[in-house]
Amino acid sequence: MTIRISSEPFDPLDEIRAHQDRIGAGMRRIGATAMFVGSMRDFNEGEQIDTMSLEHYPEMAEKHLEKIAEETVSRWNLEDVLIVHRVGELAPGDPIVLVAVWSAHRAHAFEAARSIMEDLKSSAPFWKKEKAASGERWVTNNTPGRSEEFSR
């Protein structure tokens, strides 16, 4: 299990490859890898967003991510978990978060990855401040985690 909070940009696929190299021979018992990459959009609430600053309380955020990962491993039959989360200044298109899980079976991998992301979005101690032509604003609402929750 690896948890990392970074102020440096990261390449999600490089992170996956490096993590799988660390798993090594253990990859033989893994039948499914599910990953989610969340990236910064250039719009929110009908407005174009130029940049975003992502802040956190380091000790609290790291402990929360560790707790999410541990609970997820105990709930689903997982071989490994990787969470990488950016903080600091971001531009549209930059990866913000990578969640990857490895399991013998796809059902566990899909459900675990979604569970981690939903917990991250709803309760992890990260705060977003968007910068647009109209000024700066703190993001107070997250987008829905399921397609049926979007209004049409």
Cα of first residue to Cα of last residue in the chain, in angstroms, is 38
Does the pLDDT value for residue 126 go beyond 60? yes
| DSSP, residue by residue, 15-81 | HHHHHHHHHGGGGGG--EEEEEEEE--SEETTEE--EEEEEE-HHHHHHHHHHHHHHHHHHTTEEEE
Whether the CB-CB separation of 65 and 1 falls below 8 Å is answered with: no
Pairing type for strands 2-6 and 78-86 reads parallel
> pLDDT of 73-115, one tens digit each?
999 999 999 999 999 999 999 999 999 999 999 999 999 999 9
pLDDT of residue 119: 94
> pLDDT of 13-58, one tens digit each?
999 999 999 999 999 999 999 999 999 999 998 899 999 999 999 9
- Kindly state the average pLDDT of the residues 104-130: 95
Does the pLDDT value for residue 151 go beyond 60? no
**Euclidean distance between CA atoms 133 and 144, whole angstroms:** 25
Q: How confident is the model at residue 140 (pLDDT cuts 50, 70, 90)?
A: confident
Q: SS3 of 96, please?
A: strand
pLDDT of residue 147: 62
Please give the single-letter amino acid code of residue 143.
Answer: T
Q: Which domains are seen in the chain, by residue range?
A: 2-20+31-141 (3.90.1170.40)
pLDDT of residue 152: 46
Residue with tokens 């000024």: 135
Tokens of 123: 């309760």
Nearest partner of 76 among 35, 50, 112, judged by Cα = 112
Q: How confident is the model at residue 148 (pLDDT cuts 50, 70, 90)?
A: low
